[in-house]
Structure 1
């Protein structure tokens, strides 16, 4: 059987998550998580579920001995949809467990946006690619944001820790792709 501690540490470091952040998200003490990662403590199934959830994986992923990356097809009709702002449809197109990156496809109806306020998530590298239509990507805090008008084939790269917001100010549906590396922990 695989020692779960090193796998937890590997997922945590891949996500650039601190030990304290994982402990907080899993409702555990940092010293316990440290001991678990070093193989000096065991964890209950409940604790492993909380840790796996904080890492964006399943409990089974913590025990999987086969790390070989195999081709994995995601059919358009089978993409998990994430609930977002009205007029926006966002789909996860990379499959869990998220290893080195996560990829999302989104559609914005005319006038739709990622929300009224800019948002941040973790501190990863993010790339936005416009597949069709036109969007404006605002980067920076409200009142000091720089607006970037993007059309088909245009892309922009930024840190997820920078407040950002996407809006479709055009009169046709816009389709975009987000690529994030490493995957950001879910809130």
Structure 2
């Protein structure tokens, strides 16, 4: 039984159906491992025991929406990450991602919106559609233990990779291999990039 069934029902009606217990647990486990978090980290954030979080990840426990909000904050994703707008045919799960049900990170006000193009997380790589608003920029260089490639679908984007600066236009592509990088959209329209990362960061 849900610990707070009324709270769960309110969110379901407002935001669409939440993932089932087994799928939710698997999703939390994948995100936790991608973030380098321990069960104890999540348990502390949610105010639950490590044993409870272990049961949750195995699909043997349910949690309230307030707990899930704290878990989402700890894992660096919006609460909506754990919700789906439509049910998928069984054959599409893990194989097909429909345009209307992509998971999103970030907001237009942040200057960058990333939509997960991969059908799920937890594979050997992940693919995002990154939209950079005009004027958006990453001021501090980012360094990740990853190999990344991007294809600029629309607009223009300035990219610094290591000590090198590049002006990219629609149709250009780039590769980042464990080097510090940053970016800026100094154009007048949004820049849209298909971005592939390995190993996954989400």
Q: TM-score, normalised by structure 2?
A: 0.53
Contact 1:135 1:168 in 2 (8 A): yes
Q: Does 1:166 align with 2:179?
A: no
Q: Which runs of 5+ in 1 are unaligned?
A: none
Q: 1:138 aligns with which of 160, 185, 197?
A: 160
> Which whole-Å deviations, capped at 9, do the CAs of 1:56-112 have from their partners, x for residues lacking one?
431679xx9x5724441239xxx8872356xx5x44443698535342342554xx3
- Please state how far the C-alpha of 1:183 moved relative to its aligned partner: 5.1
Question: 1:184 corresponds to which residue?
Answer: 201
Stretch deviating more after TM superposition (90-99 or 124-133):
90-99
Contact 2:160 2:181 in 1 (8 A): yes
Separation in structure 2 between the aligned mates of residue 42 and residue 163 of structure 1, nearest angstrom: 41
Contact 1:27 1:50 in 2 (8 A): yes
- Please state how far the C-alpha of 1:166 moved relative to its aligned partner: 1.7
Matches of residues 21-60 of structure 1 in structure 2 within 5 Å? 23=41, 27=45, 31-32=50-51, 35-36=54-55, 39=58, 42=61, 44-45=63-64, 46-52=66-72, 54=75, 56=77, 57-58=81-82
Greater length-normalized contact order (CA 8 Å, ≥ 6 residues apart): 1
Contact 2:154 2:193 in 1 (8 A): no
Separation in structure 1 between the aligned mates of residue 39 and residue 161 of structure 2, nearest angstrom: 25
> Which whole-Å deviations, capped at 9, do the CAs of 1:117-173 have from their partners, x for residues lacking one?
134386544333223444320124xxxx321232332111225x7543223456x54
Q: Which runs of 5+ in 2 are unaligned?
A: 1-19
Question: 1:83 corresponds to which residue?
Answer: 108
Cα distance change on mapping 1:135 and 1:39 into 2, 3 Å = closer
Contact 1:32 1:41 in 2 (8 A): no
Larger helix proportion, structure 1 or 2?
A: 2
Question: 1:154 corresponds to which residue?
Answer: 172
Q: How many residues align?
A: 166
Q: Report the RMSD for the aligned CA atoms in angstroms.
A: 4.7
Contact 1:123 1:184 in 2 (8 A): no
Counterpart secondary structure, 2:160: strand
